[in-house]
Amino acid sequence: MKLRKLMQQALLGAGACTLAITVHAADTIKVGVLHSLSGTMAISETTLKDTVLMMVEEQNKKGGLLGKKLEPVVVDPASNWPLFAEKTRELLTQEKVDVIFGCWTSVSRKSVLPVIEELNGLMFYPVQYEGEESSKNIFYTGAAPNQQAIPAVDYLMDELGVERWVLAGTDYVYPRTTNKILEAYLKAKGVAAQDIMINYTPFGHSDWQSIVSDIKKFGSAGKATAVVSTINGDANVPFYKELGNQGISSEDIPVVAFSVGEEELSGIDTAPLVGHMAAWNYFESVDTDANAAFIDQWRAFTGDDSRVTNDPMEATYIGFNMWAKAVEKAGTTDVDTVASTLIGMTTPNLTGGTATMLKNHHLSKPVLIGEIQSDGQFEVVWETEDLVPGDAWSDFLPASKPIVADWTAPINCGNYNTETKACSGQNF
């Protein structure tokens, strides 16, 4: 009898501990922050970590969500793609976060994707990417190719008369898939194969002398030539430096980049780069009241009046605000409920319009082309007249053309074939 009583007391004690842990865990809403704070991508991702912390702080000043404070949980996947998956599992199983804001490169997102689907987590991905994906657990607040790459090529072709194309990228999934789409698009526009040069380099590549020399030679054939750059991370610093070293100006061979923004330019001498371009959905130089307030908030948070803003920060801002509105509307942080509530959700962007979350988990966005200025900012030289809805699957790849993503009934699928009327897999 004594043994039974001791066992009952032990079980009651264990139950009390479990209850205490549950109550304690419910005291806050946990926000996971999954960005590289070290390694080759830290140059870009550290700022996004700070952006999420700023948004959490601002939301807590408003009283948090559902009567609870938000608690950020920051991890460092260190630009190590398998480590992104491990840190995601840690955030979901050990830290019990309610949402994750994270990743920059597509290879990191691809690493995270099976884990977040297996554990039914919720993630907001804030960077331009190659498309060809739609997960029920991920909301893509950066640009799809039709919201950045395609309009940039159209601008170069129609406005600058470019006839020869250098597609230069870092060697991983985003540049390779984006360039596959662009190559098909260019050929459909009548560009000959010999007028397209494609080059890939590893992350952190630093010796650009021979590659830039090849680009210079390719551009000397008597046809207007441009570089479409999907070079990522700190490799951009020596790339642009070498352009200057070899005297390649924007008038000779303009570069339009998809992964270079104000943050990347803040670390280099931009004087030789004036006139080269980037295609984004936001620039710090955009003159709106909302953007001015965001810049002021950012500089107050960092305590540094020289800190710049950039496109992935705006995508983080939009995603965070949409998530907060969805949680308040749903009255819960339950992933499935919040995910369904997010579809159709709207929130102001920073360029004067309104972002809407579409059925394919992508946003409607403006597209802007900006020229690099000597102060490291961009002057907007072109923009779309209307918002462009993000397309998860490219119309320029034959296998993708009939595919759509629609996370509402009755389709409820990220990879629905409109010809076979079948869902051929959740993502791919």
> Which of 68-72, 241-245, 296-300, 423-427 shows the lowest mean pLDDT across its residues?
423-427
Q: Thinking of the domain 11-144+294-365, which architecture would CATH place it in?
A: 3-Layer(aba) Sandwich (3.40)
Quote the pLDDT of residue 269. Answer: 80
Is the predicted pLDDT of residue 1 greater than 80, yes or no? no
CA-only gyration radius of the chain, Å? 23
Question: Is-contact 140 391, C-beta < 8 A?
Answer: no
Residue showing tokens 């950045």: 148
The reported pLDDT for the residue numbered 298 is 98
Q: What is the pLDDT of residue 424?
A: 82
What local confidence, expressed as pLDDT, does residue 17 receive? Answer: 37
Instruction: Assess whether pLDDT exceeds 70 at residue 128.
Output: yes
Q: Identify the residue with better confidence: 1 or 125.
A: 125
The confidence score (pLDDT) of residue 425 equals: 61
Q: Mean pLDDT, to the nearest integer, of 57-75? A: 98
> What pLDDT score was predicted for residue 266?
84
Distance, CA of 363 to CA of 374 (rounded, Å): 32
CA distance 127 to 138: 12
Count the Cβ atoms, other than its own, within 10 Å of residue 60: 16
Residue 11: pLDDT over 60: no
Q: Is 300 exposed, middle or buried (0-12, 13-18, 19+ CB in 10 A)?
A: exposed
- Looking at residue 202, its pLDDT comes to 95
Query: What confidence tens digit (pLDDT) does each residue in 147-201 have?
Result: 999 999 999 999 999 999 999 999 999 999 999 999 999 999 999 999 999 999 9
Answer whether 0.85 is exceeded by the pTM.
yes
Phi, psi of 89 (to 5 degrees): -60, -40
Instruction: Check: CB of residue 315 under 8 Å from CB of residue 129.
Output: no
> For residues 168 and 180, what is the distance between their CA atoms, to the nearest angstrom?
12
Question: In which residue are the tokens 């759509």 written?
Answer: 404
- The CA-CA-CA angle for residues 409, 355, 389, to 5°, reads 65
Q: From CA 213, how far away is CA 319, in angstroms rounded?
A: 41
Residue pair 186/154 in contact (Cβ under 8 Å)? The answer is: no
Q: Of 199, 237, 226, 219, give the one whose Cα is nearest residue 42.
A: 237
The pair phi, psi for residue 183, each rounded to 5°, is -60, -45
Residue 312 near residue 345, CB atoms below 8 Å: no
For 336-395, what is each residue's pLDDT tens digit? 999 999 999 999 999 999 999 999 999 999 999 999 999 999 999 999 999 999 999 999
Q: Whole-angstrom Cα distance, residue 28 to residue 7?
A: 33
Instruction: Look at residue 244 and tell me whether its pLDDT is greater than 90.
Output: no
Decide if 115 contacts 85 (C-beta within 8 A).
yes
18 vs 343, higher pLDDT: 343
Residues 89-116 pLDDT 10s: 999 999 999 999 999 999 999 999 999 9
- Indicate whether 74 pLDDT > 70: yes
Domain 146-281+369-389: give its CATH superfamily. Response regulator (3.40.50.2300)
Q: How far apart are CA 411 and CA 348, in angstroms?
A: 28
Taking CA atoms, 367 is separated from 5, 283, 311, 347, in Å, by: 70, 10, 11, 17
Mean pLDDT for the chain overall: 92
Report the pLDDT value the prediction gives residue 264, as an integer from 0 to 100.
Answer: 81
Question: In whole angstroms, what is the distance from residue 132 CA to residue 102 CA?
Answer: 19
Query: What percent of the chain is predicted at pLDDT more than 70?
Result: 93
In the predicted model, is pLDDT for residue 214 greater than 80? yes
For residue 93, the cross-strand partners are none
Domain boundaries, the chain: 11-144+294-365, 146-281+369-389
Cis peptide before 272 (omega within 30 of 0): no
What value does the mean pLDDT take over residues 135-157? 97
State the pLDDT at residue 233: 83
Q: Which of 1-10, 165-174, 317-326, 355-364 has the lowest mean pLDDT?
A: 1-10
- Is residue 24 over pLDDT 50? no
Name the nearest CA neighbour of 389 among 156, 66, 151, 59.
151
| Domain 11-144+294-365 shares a fold with domain 146-281+369-389 | yes
